Chains A and B, each alone.
Chain A
Amino acid sequence: MSKFPKFLMATAVATLTAAPAIAEKLGLGRAATDGEVAAWNLDVFPDGSNLPEGSGDVLTGETVFSENCASCHGEFAEGVDNWPKLAGGDGSLADEDPLKTVGSYWPYLSTTFDYVRRSMPFGSAQTLSDDDVYAIVAYILYSNYLVDEDFTLSKDTFLEVEMPNADGFIVDDRAETEYGSFTNRCMSDCKPGPVEITRNVVFKGDPNAGADADEVQTTAPATTDEAAAPAGDEAPKAVAFDADLAEKGEKVFKKCKACHKVGEGAQNGVGPVLNGVWERTAGAVDGFKYSKPMMAAGEGGLVWDTESLSGYLANPRNYLKGNKMTFAGLKKEADIEAVLEFLKSHSQ
């Protein structure tokens, strides 16, 4: 608090002294029950206070992490695509492009525990047991070489963990290092002129247009040659679809495309590539590491059609327990219908 902006501190103190701490009460609201406070007050502090009972070890954590976190954060917490990397970056904070992870940047272990417990997995927050949270955090620490593989995290071992960047933070010092020097309101001859451009804009047009669109078109192989189709492609299917509805579905698909790729040249990402998904057996894309339940469902004869995809997309978690798609589901039937049409259009 020592760095609280001076002017504000002055106002605040004035306000505090001008008005009594206890004003007249209106008697609105009701007393919170102990159970309600316990349900919502999950704060964990840097000193470990308010940690729940329970524990989790690194090996258990590896399994739980693989099932719940690896689809975005990678099997070794190294991050997939644009999703956060949780490990690595040690000693990189002063580099040109620092890598900020739990190991390299986060000052307190309590923050990791609190965040995993309350906000993860993405799309299915607050579904993990406290033991699983302990195990996941233990595994993240192990991935950062901060604990050994036989480590078990609990409220008793919590303070044994040393976070490398614990002393890497200072309280806002702009009042001392900046405010005093940012006061010169020069009006003329402020610098030698005329000025010159030192840097031009990097993304000149619409930032969503795709800077290399032209290039991609000119370098893409000619598509007239049927033999150019990727090896192992199934025989061409002819799936009827409604083009207008498919277009609507493309918009809905924005919710999916962070993880799933479609279209020419699409590959597996966080989720399997969806070209040809229509009437395909579940769990059948080469090179994608499916969850065990998804593989089992495929072996059991699950095929992606209107009925199965509608059910799956409405509630992925419930439709196939233990599958790794961390998506809350599409609430509107019209959205599901449209996105199915879109997927059909990519199954030709």
Chain B
Amino acid sequence: MSDSSTKTGASRRAFLKGAAATGAALGAAGAARAEDDPLITEVQDWASGFGDGVDATPYGLPIEYEDDVVRRTVEWLTADTISSINFTPIHALDGTITPQGCAFERHHSGAISLRKEDYRLMINGLVDTPLVFSYQDLERFPRVTRTFFLECAANTGMEWAGAQLNGAQYTHGMIHNMEYTGVTLRTLLEEAGLTAAGDLAGKWVYVEGADASSNGRSIPIEKALDDCMVAFKANGEALRMEHGYPVRLVVPGWEGNMWVKWLRRIEVMDKPVESREETSKYTDTLADGTSRKWTWTMDAKSIITSPSPQMPITHGKGPLVITGLAWSGNGAITAVDVSLDGGVTWQEARLAEPGKPMALSRFYLDIDWDGSEMFLQSRAMDASGYVQPTKAQLRDVRGLNSIYHNNGIQTWHVNANGEANNVEVS
């Protein structure tokens, strides 16, 4: 492996030379071809006849050849599909924005269909005037547009017990990253007036959804006034039903369960409610049986999305793009390192663009793969100076009984055929 690592970052000339050698071996790119390619020399149907007219699909779906890039659940993880989860196909996506149509779903009582006309948002509790807003009211407040990741606290939760599921989609797919448009929660709270709350230190807001699960969470008012949003658009269009249409809460950098969907009520309080989702669930049991609560922040984490078990290397040795995602609830990603040898040596990957606070970063490492086995790992660093830990480091502190907040380094074993498997290494 040391060979391949030292070659990385070598001159373009060396890169091309390597590619030519591989090409010759495979009879593919870069080498002389014996016969003409009929896709070029013969006139194809699509180059002669018509394609579809406009409006063939008023709202377009991905072309049929991409129909495997879809959300997938794992049926036996939950008792039924109503209170369940599925996973974003992160292995097949690139860039940083997650299309809404394949962004993972997590419902506690199913995705409800709620019309804008029937939507009401109440603000009550320690406010000067308890208010009720219609959807139309929300659209009249000063608006903001910001991009954030949402990660379920249980993302990668199966992997506490070892290497369980074979694919980035299943191990790390409870995440999405969207550009949200809406109103800051601060704007709405100030419209109701916070004088009645007195000294804001130690105050909370309770946020609650309109669906039958009544999912509710207590959030410190500092966070509520800092960067939370009441969002009604994502990636430029209305939220999807499964993501809380018409209105959801955005709680940047904090666990997805707090991003209450179908948001119907915001209450200012002098203490937390201690609801089901902040006591019996979304708490982290340590080795001695004590449990952490209020573990809201999603710590820095990264994953190589390709190559990965669902994305084997099919082109043989030579130029290979290693790519993945990194994010942190504690600020912007500052760097991502990649190891080809299971964490013995590391090299810095290229960020597609400078990291943005609490949003996904895309990284690339372009290597000349020599065809030998690799133990691929990635490691994220964030603006707070935090370095993504190994699974072993996390287990040393927390034991083996955690479910949530597994941000340990993932390993993919890539064999000489280019197939990848989920493993843990020494």
- Give A contacts to B, CB under 8 Å: 1, 3-5, 7-9, 11-13, 15-16, 19, 21-23, 25-26, 28-32, 36-37, 40-41, 43-46, 72, 81-83, 93-94, 96-98, 100, 102, 105-108, 110-111, 114-115, 118-119, 122-123, 125-126, 168-174, 177-179, 181-205, 207-208, 254-255, 258-259, 328
Chain B residues lying within 8 Å of A182, measured Cβ to Cβ, are: 386-389, 393
Chain A residues lying within 8 Å of B337, measured Cβ to Cβ, are: 185, 187
| CB-based contact B206/A43 at 8 Å | yes
Contact partner of B75 among A43, A183, A208, CB < 8 A?
A208
Contact partner of B275 among A93, A114, A205, A328, CB < 8 A?
A114
| CB-based contact B294/A3 at 8 Å | yes
Q: Is B225 an interface residue (CB 8 A)?
A: yes
How long is the Cα–Cα vector from A251 to B297 in the complex, in angstroms? 38
Q: Is B320 an interface residue (CB 8 A)?
A: no
| CB-based contact A41/B124 at 8 Å | yes
Q: A41-B267, A171-B292 are in contact. Are A204 and B131 (CB under 8 A)?
A: no
| CB-based contact A191/B285 at 8 Å | no
In chain B, positions 319-352 with a C-beta closer than 8 Å to chain A are: 330-331, 337, 341-347
Q: A15-B226, A108-B274 are in contact. Are A125 and B212 (CB under 8 A)?
A: yes
| CB-based contact A204/B421 at 8 Å | yes
Q: Is B80 an interface residue (CB 8 A)?
A: yes
In chain B, positions 276-332 with a C-beta closer than 8 Å to chain A are: 276, 279-280, 283, 285, 287-297, 299, 309, 330-331
| Interface majority SS (helix, strand, loop, mixed), chain A | loop
Chain A residues lying within 8 Å of B165, measured Cβ to Cβ, are: 201-203, 207
How long is the Cα–Cα vector from A171 to B293 in the complex, in angstroms? 5
- Write the chain A residue with the least CB distance to B423: A197
Contact partner of A173 among B267, B292, B422, CB < 8 A?
B292
Contact partner of B342 among A13, A193, A201, CB < 8 A?
A193
How long is the Cα–Cα vector from A179 to B328 in the complex, in angstroms? 13
Q: A16-B200, A169-B290, A208-B74 are in contact. Are A107 and B274 (CB under 8 A)?
A: yes
Q: Is B78 an interface residue (CB 8 A)?
A: yes
Chain B residues lying within 8 Å of A196, measured Cβ to Cβ, are: 425-426
Q: Is B56 an interface residue (CB 8 A)?
A: no
| CB-based contact A45/B344 at 8 Å | no
The list of the 3 closest CB pairs from A to B, nearest first, reads A258-B80, A12-B222, A93-B289
B39-47, B88-96, B188-196 - interface stretch: B188-196
| CB-based contact A23/B275 at 8 Å | no
- Give B contacts to A, CB under 8 Å: 1, 72-76, 78-83, 108-110, 122-125, 129-134, 137, 140-141, 162-166, 170, 186-187, 190-191, 193-195, 200-202, 206, 208, 212-214, 216, 220, 222-223, 225-226, 264-265, 267, 269, 271, 273-276, 279-280, 283, 285, 287-297, 299, 309, 330-331, 337, 341-347, 375, 379, 381, 384-389, 393-394, 397, 400-401, 413, 421-426
Chain A residues lying within 8 Å of B206, measured Cβ to Cβ, are: 43
| CB-based contact A45/B200 at 8 Å | no
How long is the Cα–Cα vector from A16 to B386 in the complex, in angstroms? 27
| CB-based contact A15/B225 at 8 Å | yes
How long is the Cα–Cα vector from A28 to B132 in the complex, in angstroms? 9
- Write the chain A residue with the least CB distance to B422: A201
Q: A32-B130, A105-B280, A199-B162 are in contact. Are A190 and B289 (CB under 8 A)?
A: no
* Min CB gap A22→B, angstroms: 6
| CB-based contact B274/A111 at 8 Å | yes
Chain B residues lying within 8 Å of A3, measured Cβ to Cβ, are: 294
- Write the chain B residue with the least CB distance to A178: B397
| CB-based contact B72/A168 at 8 Å | no
* Min CB gap A230→B, angstroms: 26
Chain A residues lying within 8 Å of B285, measured Cβ to Cβ, are: 93, 98, 100
**23 chain-A/chain-B pairs, Cβ below 8 angstroms:** A4-B222, A12-B223, A22-B193, A22-B194, A25-B191, A26-B191, A32-B131, A40-B208, A41-B265, A41-B267, A43-B216, A82-B76, A82-B78, A93-B401, A98-B285, A106-B279, A106-B280, A125-B212, A171-B293, A172-B297, A199-B423, A201-B163, A201-B309
Contact partner of B162 among A93, A110, A185, A202, CB < 8 A?
A202
* Min CB gap B247→A, angstroms: 14
* Min CB gap B155→A, angstroms: 15
Most buried by B among A11, A126, A202, A259: A202
| CB-based contact A31/B131 at 8 Å | yes
Chain A residues lying within 8 Å of B76, measured Cβ to Cβ, are: 82, 207
Chain B residues lying within 8 Å of A36, measured Cβ to Cβ, are: 122, 132
Chain B residues lying within 8 Å of A7, measured Cβ to Cβ, are: 330-331, 384
How long is the Cα–Cα vector from A202 to B385 in the complex, in angstroms? 34
Chain A residues lying within 8 Å of B81, measured Cβ to Cβ, are: 254-255, 258
How long is the Cα–Cα vector from A12 to B222 in the complex, in angstroms? 5
Chain B residues lying within 8 Å of A37, measured Cβ to Cβ, are: 122, 124, 130
Chain B residues lying within 8 Å of A46, measured Cβ to Cβ, are: 274
| CB-based contact A43/B273 at 8 Å | yes
How long is the Cα–Cα vector from A16 to B202 in the complex, in angstroms? 13
How long is the Cα–Cα vector from A126 to B214 in the complex, in angstroms? 10
* Min CB gap B62→A, angstroms: 21
How long is the Cα–Cα vector from A184 to B299 in the complex, in angstroms? 16
* Min CB gap A261→B, angstroms: 13
Chain B residues lying within 8 Å of A168, measured Cβ to Cβ, are: 289-291
Contact partner of A40 among B79, B122, B137, B384, CB < 8 A?
B122
How long is the Cα–Cα vector from A93 to B284 in the complex, in angstroms? 11
- Write the chain A residue with the least CB distance to B125: A41
Chain A residues lying within 8 Å of B347, measured Cβ to Cβ, are: 187
How long is the Cα–Cα vector from A207 to B413 in the complex, in angstroms? 18
Most buried by B among A25, A197, A254: A197
